[in-house]
């Protein structure tokens, strides 16, 4: 842009407008935006259910409920261990191995949350939250790695597109998550989330197989070997 003498207003217009163009016209961005948004919806719904699960079902006070969040913290910190290995083997063509495993962890932790009954040990949902924290971070890292690598000339715009979708999803769930727990009960709310997660489970597997073909439909991805 410096060499082409592009004026500042024009730069701003391009920077702000291109993420919306990516969301509409780029298949890779559209698929990953929906996928990451669903994971974020599950994350917010899962987190919002701590009061319903631990205070209403297990009848512990709010201070101990806060301590239960430490399970997710452990999972998030543990996820840092495979990140360097993932980054080492990530390249422009494929980076879904960790992605696939992590999605399975997310589904499993939702199943454990659905099994939260007073007759079942409180450690069941707490341990599942460790697995959940691990899986969510690995999904996010692998998704952003792939998108940034696929759009090497526009990585900021590509990542911004994913951000828009997932933050919009977060805003929606901040409003309706508590309503779902009140109206549907924790078990049915998490059952619905588990069903949604299961529907989207094949996404990384399908992209692992047909990702190169989808990449050829892109207007903004590198035009070299795909």
The CATH number assigned to the domain holding 199 equals 1.20.1250.20
In a domain, 10, yes or no: no
Using alpha carbons only, how large is the chain's radius of gyration in Å?
20
Of the pLDDT bands very low, low, confident and very high (cuts 50, 70, 90), residue 74 is: very high
In a domain, 220, yes or no: no
pLDDT digits 0-9 by tens, 23-50 = 888 888 888 888 888 888 888 888 888 8
Spatial CA neighbour of 202 closest among 132, 105, 103, 135? 103
pLDDT digits 0-9 by tens, 2-12 = 556 667 787 78
For 49, counting Cβ atoms within 10 Å of its Cβ (0-12 exposed, 13-18 middle, 19+ buried), the class is buried
Would you state the pLDDT for residue 202? 87
pLDDT digits 0-9 by tens, 181-200 = 888 888 888 888 888 888 88
In a domain, 224, yes or no: no
In a domain, 3, yes or no: no
Would you state the pLDDT for residue 98? 39
In a domain, 13, yes or no: no
For 62, counting Cβ atoms within 10 Å of its Cβ (0-12 exposed, 13-18 middle, 19+ buried), the class is exposed
Q: What mean pLDDT value characterizes the chain?
A: 78
Domain, as residue range, for 65: 21-215
Contact yes or no for 89/95 (Cβ under 8 A): yes
The number of distinct structural domains making up the chain is 1
Would you state the pLDDT for residue 101? 45
């Amino acid at each position: 842009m410096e060499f082409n003498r592009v004026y500042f207003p024009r730069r701003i217009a391009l920077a702000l407008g291109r993420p919306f163009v990516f969301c509409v016209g780029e298949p890779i961005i559209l698929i990953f935006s929906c996928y990451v948004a669903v994971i974020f919806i599950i994350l917010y719904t899962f987190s919002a259910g701590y009061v319903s699960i631990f205070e209403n079902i297990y009848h512990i006070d709010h201070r101990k409920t806060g301590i239960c969040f430490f399970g997710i913290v452990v999972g998030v910190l543990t996820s840092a261990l495979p990140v360097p290995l993932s980054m080492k083997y990530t390249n422009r063509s494929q980076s879904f191995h960790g992605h696939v495993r992590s999605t399975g962890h997310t589904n499993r932790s939702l199943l454990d949350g659905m099994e939260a009954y007073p007759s079942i040990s409180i450690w069941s949902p707490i341990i599942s939250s460790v697995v959940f924290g691990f899986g969510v971070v690995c999904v996010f890292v692998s998704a952003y790695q792939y998108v940034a690598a696929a759009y090497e000339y526009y990585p900021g715009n590509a990542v911004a597109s994913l951000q828009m979708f997932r933050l919009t999803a977060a805003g929606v769930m901040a409003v309706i998550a508590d309503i779902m727990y009140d109206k549907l009960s924790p078990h049915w709310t998490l059952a619905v989330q588990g069903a949604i997660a299961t529907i989207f489970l094949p996404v990384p597997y399908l992209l692992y197989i047909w990702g190169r073909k989808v990449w050829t439909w892109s207007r903004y991805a590198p035009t070299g070997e795909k």
